[in-house]
Structure 1
Amino acid sequence: MLDKWQNHQPETFVCINKWQQTPDTITIELQPLVGAESIDFKPGQFVSLGIRIDGKLLFRAYSISSTPQQSTLELTIKRVDGGKVSTYLVDTLAIGEKIQLLKPTGDFNCIDHPPENQSVLLISAGCGITPVYSMAKYWLEHNANIDICFIHVAKSPSQTLFFEQLNQLDRDNSHFNLQLLLKDKVNTDCHQGRLDKTWLEQLTPNLHQRTVYLCGPEGFMEDVSQYLQQLEFNMAQFFQESFTPIAATETETLTTALTLNVPAFGQTLTANHGDNLAAALESAGLPLLVACRSGVCGSCRCKVTPNSVNSSSSMTLTAAEIEQGYVLACSSTLIDNTDVSF
């Protein structure tokens, strides 16, 4: 079992396979540079992937589409408009190329949040299907006797990730109920329309007996959450992924210049009150790992002077780390001079 990630440092993997899922989405299969019998993670989790582009190591977070305890790891990646990393991975990444991965992480998983009644509803849209697809395969592979209703929203069959695999799972498993809801009017047996609370009730047998796992674009997830609440669903049995970049915190209009001392790199930087800590470090060219930019992956963990930042997330930090002064740079804004260490 691969359990070598230490002190938040990345491990080297090699791309051993790459294939097209849709016109703008690929899946890559990665193997540890130093072989491992199996790679452990919780279905639904993600990894922070680092790739060197134009001489700079850039990190981004991607959900895992394979299942645990395999000798390789699969990531499914959609090209993002203007996205340097996703564009490189889709267009340029070659088999045999090396990639850096941080340890799998994420609270959105089916191990820490198991279904209460052996009955689940998986809801996804677009590339948000990746983590819940991993969950579904995990339950089916382990004969978990979980009743799975899987609602996925996509534009068309050709734009539906894992289209053939999902239909095969539906044919092979009596307790797997696939419901595809397509936006385009095409000649297909799939449902057509926009997901709303009426569709939720219509497509989901025994909705109120299920645990719901949701992943998709932020607006889509907000809508689904509202529909469930309108249907008086027990939201204690509702879990969703969150890769939403943290919005800048509103602060008083101040132009106070602050000093950031970064002894590990022998630099003293200047930033403004209210600046994002990660952005200030990156603008100085420091090699900070910032993958999710949502305060959920922990890649940008650093230690600062007490009371020098306001933090909106400490999701991946332990109580001991918080006590020692560690913060997540991507979700911290500067309010005073500070020393920064890693």
Structure 2
Amino acid sequence: MAWSQSGAVALTCTKKWFETPDSVTFELSPNRHDVTFQFKPGQFSSLGFDIEGNKHFRAYSISSKPGDSSLRFTVKRVSNGLVSNHVVEQLEVGQRVEAMTPVGQFNNVDCIPQEKVLMISAGCGITPVMSMVDDWLANNAHVDIEFLHLAKSKQDTIYFNKISELNDTVDNFNLKMLLEDSSGTEYPQGVISLEWLLKLVADFHDRTIYLCGPTGFMEVVKSALEQADFDMSHFHQESFTPAESQHITDGTVTDVTQDVTSVKVMVPDFGVELDAEAGSLLLDALEKGGVPVIAACRSGICGSCKCKVKVGQVQSSSTETLTAADVENGFVLACSSQIKTDVEVALN
């Protein structure tokens, strides 16, 4: 039986181990043994964890292969991150976790590779590109793989032993690592430039490029490729992590720094009226008011927190699942909308 249903399914954590001092890998399995998980390598799933009596969802890339009987994820601790710290410190084998149907356009099925590829990642951005590589290697795909990864050190490199072994044993897998410490090739402040790309992968113009990592890192890499007149139709990057302290209006990125003032958030259908800071997320205000809004990915991708702003203004950084008609009629994604004025909101 293939996992093809929509919505969340309850799975059990069956394995967990540390990859680095601040990141763990864990596997989630179903109760039945005839279930296999079908998804496109590189996609992510929103996982729901019970923390102090509340369900909290976060989006994590799947690092296992399609057709496996379990789903594997790797999570790195985020400073003050409620869910990531819970996963690293408190998730135990035997605990239940809800998993939403995998989604995401960053994958090696929709983003078709040429015969040669360049995988560029940094930090935990290695997880979706590793899933793509595993899929190609498992299916004996004739893909020449250059794998460029940036990390602080070997000890901080997720899957370090695995990618090192692949580099030693697989002819069509070539690893290039840039490390901030003295144990590897040094590079300035974790930034990769056009000069470094030319030095490390001279034929990158002939490859399909897949990119995943921190937002600022991806922006730098993309800028370097554009500077090199790379054919961007062969460039693909993960985008479920929105940039912080920025918003996008009509395609223009601008700063949201402003004087903090108080605004009112009203949800008449639930008898809610509360004060919030201008510039804060609409989702945070709705959750504070006890409005039963569903927030799965919290990244502007899944569309579960869709709601309608009937009065007032918000500033949205994502309209990923909204149609033009939705936007025209005032629908927004609460997780990606900052409150600008007093607002009245409805969930439908």
Letter of the structure 1 residue corresponding to residue 267 of structure 2: L
| CA distance in structure 2 between the aligned counterparts of 1:238 and 1:330, rounded to whole angstroms | 27
| CA distance in structure 2 between the aligned counterparts of 1:210 and 1:287, rounded to whole angstroms | 46
1:223 has 2:220 as partner? yes
Deviations 1:230-289 (A, max 9, x none): 22212222121121255465499776645222x3xx333345676532122012133434
Displacement of 1:155 in angstroms is 1.7
Could you say if the C-alpha distance between residues 58 and 287 of structure 1 is closer, same or farther in structure 2, counting changes exceeding 3 Å?
Answer: farther
Displacement of 1:80 in angstroms is 1.0
Query: In structure 2, which of residues 150, 158, 164 is the aligned counterpart of residue 153 of structure 1?
Result: 150
| CA distance in structure 2 between the aligned counterparts of 1:310 and 1:34, rounded to whole angstroms | 44
| CA distance in structure 1 between the aligned counterparts of 2:291 and 2:244, rounded to whole angstroms | 21
SS class of match (2:217): helix
Displacement of 1:198 in angstroms is 2.1
Q: Which moved more, 1:119-128 or 1:275-284?
A: 275-284
* Paired residue total: 332
Residue of structure 1 equivalent to 2:79: 81
| CA distance in structure 2 between the aligned counterparts of 1:251 and 1:216, rounded to whole angstroms | 25
CA-based RMSD: 2.7
Residue of structure 1 equivalent to 2:16: 18
Residue of structure 1 equivalent to 2:3: 2
| CA distance in structure 2 between the aligned counterparts of 1:3 and 1:305, rounded to whole angstroms | 35
Could you say if the C-alpha distance between residues 205 and 23 of structure 1 is closer, same or farther in structure 2, counting changes exceeding 3 Å?
Answer: same
Alignment of 1:95-174 (within 5 A): 95-115=93-113, 117-174=114-171
SS class of match (2:37): coil
1:69 has 2:67 as partner? yes
SS class of match (1:123): strand
Query: In structure 2, which of residues 302, 326, 346 is the aligned counterpart of residue 340 of structure 1?
Result: 346
| CA distance in structure 2 between the aligned counterparts of 1:127 and 1:296, rounded to whole angstroms | 19
Displacement of 1:61 in angstroms is 1.4
1:294 has 2:299 as partner? yes
TM-score (norm 2): 0.85
Could you say if the C-alpha distance between residues 182 and 288 of structure 1 is closer, same or farther in structure 2, counting changes exceeding 3 Å?
Answer: same
| CA distance in structure 2 between the aligned counterparts of 1:70 and 1:321, rounded to whole angstroms | 37
- Do the aligned partners of 1:48 and 1:299 also contact (CA within 8 Å) in 2? no
SS class of match (2:220): helix
Residue of structure 1 equivalent to 2:267: 260
Deviations 1:130-180 (A, max 9, x none): 111111111111122111110001122221111111122223321111111
Q: Which moved more, 1:297-306 or 1:176-185?
A: 297-306
Displacement of 1:26 in angstroms is 0.6
Query: In structure 1, which of residues 35, 38, 51 is the aligned counterpart of residue 36 of structure 2?
Result: 38
Deviations 1:180-225 (A, max 9, x none): 1111112xxx533343222211221421011111111122112212
Could you say if the C-alpha distance between residues 198 and 101 of structure 1 is closer, same or farther in structure 2, counting changes exceeding 3 Å?
Answer: same
Residue of structure 2 equivalent to 1:53: 51
Letter of the structure 2 residue corresponding to residue 295 of structure 1: G
- Do the aligned partners of 1:260 and 1:271 also contact (CA within 8 Å) in 2? no
| CA distance in structure 2 between the aligned counterparts of 1:88 and 1:152, rounded to whole angstroms | 27
Identity among equivalent positions (%) equals 43
Q: Which moved more, 1:286-295 or 1:118-127?
A: 286-295
Letter of the structure 1 residue corresponding to residue 186 of structure 2: Q
Letter of the structure 2 residue corresponding to residue 277 of structure 1: L
- Do the aligned partners of 1:309 and 1:336 also contact (CA within 8 Å) in 2? no
SS class of match (2:97): strand
| CA distance in structure 2 between the aligned counterparts of 1:147 and 1:73, rounded to whole angstroms | 26
- Do the aligned partners of 2:272 and 2:289 also contact (CA within 8 Å) in 1? no
Letter of the structure 1 residue corresponding to residue 25 of structure 2: T
TM-score (norm 1): 0.87
Q: Which moved more, 1:51-60 or 1:331-340?
A: 331-340
Structure 2: runs of 5+ lacking an equivalent: 248-255
